[in-house]
Structure 1
Amino acid sequence: MKRLLPLLLVLAFPQAQAEPAFARMYKAEYGYAPSCNACHKDGGGTPLNAYGQQFKTAGMNAGSFAKIAGNDADGDGAANGAEAQARANPGNRSSTPASKGDWLDTASLIPREVQAAFPGVREYLPRDAILTEADIARAKTLGAVLGKADENTIYVPLQDKRPAGTALIFPAEFKGKTFFLLLVTDRQLKVTQVRAMNSSQVPAAAQSKVYAKFSGVAVDQLPAAAGSDLDAAITAAVKKAGTLLYVRLKNA
């Protein structure tokens, strides 16, 4: 695990950057890369906003932008396409062509919960984890099945220009309902906390005692799920999230 810290440092350089498929398509359509907040309520990994939901319903492909261009997803009086072309956020009613806001600034891309996990940190490197076939194969050897749907945004806090850890927001599912969790690690990729971040659909997830067993565990050593109860659903989601961190940062 100690070898991972130097590998984490390469995230600061352009060649280590990547964009998820949606961002690449958005950039091809409108000429610039959007922030995760175009489709998510509070950064990558959080629930979809209205624009993200419209994009998903329209097929989640390059042609979907034209299909929803005339809609006004955020209800601010400006059509989705007009906002995107003006570099305003089509998924946030406070961002309009006349007043775009700071949604494309790096500082605005970090969810509040991530910032709270690293008090005093003012600089972050949000990096999109794009899975290669090698990553997916590597994940299987660690006991996790990953696919393109698991691609996510890794938040890397910086102290004195050096990575101080990582954070990842990711979904979990129980009985057909989705809730969201936050995984935080130190710079050696050992878990410092896991907790429910948005569990309105599964309120019991916020009170689960299972989160404590992940603390101090290296992300490539997280336990596999056993059973079919809520704790098992949480454990399975944490296993996948930790494995995603490991395979992407180790292979960066």
Structure 2
Amino acid sequence: MLLAVLMSLGSGAAQAEPAFARLYKQQYGYTPSCNACHKDGGGTPVNGYGQQYKDAGMTLAAFGTIAGLDGDGDGFANDAESRARANPGDARSTPDNKGDWLDTASLIPREVQAAFPGVRAYLPRDAVLTDADIARARSMGAELSRDDENTIYIPLENQRPVGTALIFPVAHGDKTFFLLMTTDRQLRITGVVPLNTNQVPAAARAELYRGYTGVALDALPAAQGEGLAADIARAVKNAGTLVYVRLKGA
């Protein structure tokens, strides 16, 4: 049961954060929304601030490198906005008018909310991979690295988890698109849905994803061959294994 799995998580693992959010909190003292560096929430392409952070090396020192830049073009420097708890990646959020980017609802991607209609509460669990996680994933046929660290969204009804959701990228040649994977509370896939497929229009075809419904995360097959279907299979295998090892293995 997912409830038992979550209760078994240690407090350190439960509060862990992916690299950007963890370093941002270290620099500025609070956890940002994924809207800080993504155009439309987690799993979408990076915005101007996110690109600046990426270009600066994606380290703690990168925040200092881009401190005086203006990633969202609103006339306020990145560092000034972050210290004022405004969103440095959104021109609509300024030190004088911060907006709701740090509200709980803004922390949950709208695609995730749409996948669980009626759910009003979520428990984000950000997955940082340990060496043991990576080794366990490899034993399950998945190749994970710390670049795969992500946020697992857990919808709650009556304070009990009813499933999970994860948004993750798929690399196809030199292009990238995103998928949303949802599960039930037994960690069986309830859907894999393509997002942001403009770079790879063929990735929007529903038949590429139907076979995943009902498959347990620890029973996902490894990718075979080359091409779009193989790239999707590889990404789904890695994403499913990430969720499994972080929830079941914690």
TM-score grouping bracket, smaller chain normalisation: over 0.9
1:76 Cα deviation from its structure 2 partner? 1.3
- Give 1:77-92 correspondences, 5 Å limit: 77-92=75-90
2:98 match: 100
Q: Which residue pairs with 2:180 in the alignment?
A: 182
Check the 8 A contact 1:191/1:215 in 2, yes or no.
Answer: yes
Q: Deviation per CA, 1:37-95: give whole Å up to 9, x if none.
A: 21122333332121111001011111111111111111111111110010001011111
Aligned to 1:193: 191
Partner of 2:205: 207
Question: How does 1:12-91 map onto structure 2 within 5 Å?
Answer: 16-91=14-89
Are 2:5 and 1:7 aligned? yes
Q: Which residue of 2 aligns with 1:240?
A: 238
The letter of the residue matching 2:182 is V
User: The residue matched to 2:94 in structure 1 has which SS?
Assistant: coil
Aligned counterpart, 2:132: 134
How far, CA to CA, are the matches of 1:23 and 1:111 in structure 2?
15
Query: Which deviates more, 196-205 or 37-46?
Result: 37-46
Question: 1:40 touches 1:52 (CA, 8 Å); kept in 2?
Answer: yes
User: Residues 11 and 83 from structure 1, CA distance in 2 versus in 1: closer, same or farther, beyond 3 angstroms?
Assistant: farther
1:208, distance to aligned residue in structure 2 (A): 4.7
Within 5 Å, give how 1:114-129 maps onto structure 2: 114-129=112-127
In 2, Cα distance between equivalents of 1:10 and 1:116: 28
Quote the residue 1:148 is aligned against.
146
Q: Which segments of 5 or more consecutive residues in structure 1 lack a partner in the other structure?
A: none
**How far does the alpha carbon of each residue in 1:182-214 deviate from its partner, in whole angstroms, 9 at most, with x for none?**
000001000000010111110110015120110
Check whether the contact 2:14–2:126 (CA below 8 A) recurs between aligned residues: no
Q: CA deviation at 1:14?
A: 7.2
Q: State the TM-score, normalizing by the size of structure 1.
A: 0.94
Distance 2:213 2:14 in 1: 28
Root-mean-square deviation (CA, aligned residues, Å) is 1.6
Distance 1:93 1:12 in 2: 38
The verdict on how the C-alpha distance between 1:43 and 1:13 changes in structure 2, with shifts beyond 3 A counting, is farther
